[in-house]
A = this chain, B = another copy of it.
Amino acid sequence: MGRRGRVVLRRIEDRVRRGICFRKRLAGLEKKVEELAVLCDAHVGFVVLSCSGDDANPHHFAAPATHLELLFH
């Protein structure tokens, strides 16, 4: 994707590239979730527990904040 070729749905073996991809896509996902919630007045939440080989960035998110109680109560 981006500059070269299409997405191949397969684990990215290189640790560094996998981490970069993880951070970029996580940001994109957060935006999409927020958009779905607001545009469609939906209750949406998502959880990311970890990225393999990257203990530094366990993550958690739900959007928007007012839905948090509903989802994770």
Docked complex Cα distance between A29 and B36 (Å)? 9
A53 at the interface (CB under 8 A from B): yes
State the oligomeric state as a number of copies.
2
Residues of the B chain whose Cβ atoms lie less than 8 Å from the Cβ of A34: 9
Contact in complex: A44, B42 (CB < 8 Å): no
Residues of the B chain whose Cβ atoms lie less than 8 Å from the Cβ of A19: 40
Interface residue total, chain A, C-beta cutoff 8 A = 37
The 9 closest A-B pairs by CB, nearest first: A46-B46, A41-B52, A43-B49, A22-B40, A42-B51, A25-B36, A40-B51, A44-B48, A11-B41
Interface residues, chain A, with chain B CB atoms under 8 Å away:
7, 9-12, 18-19, 21-22, 25-26, 28-29, 32-36, 38-53, 67, 70-71
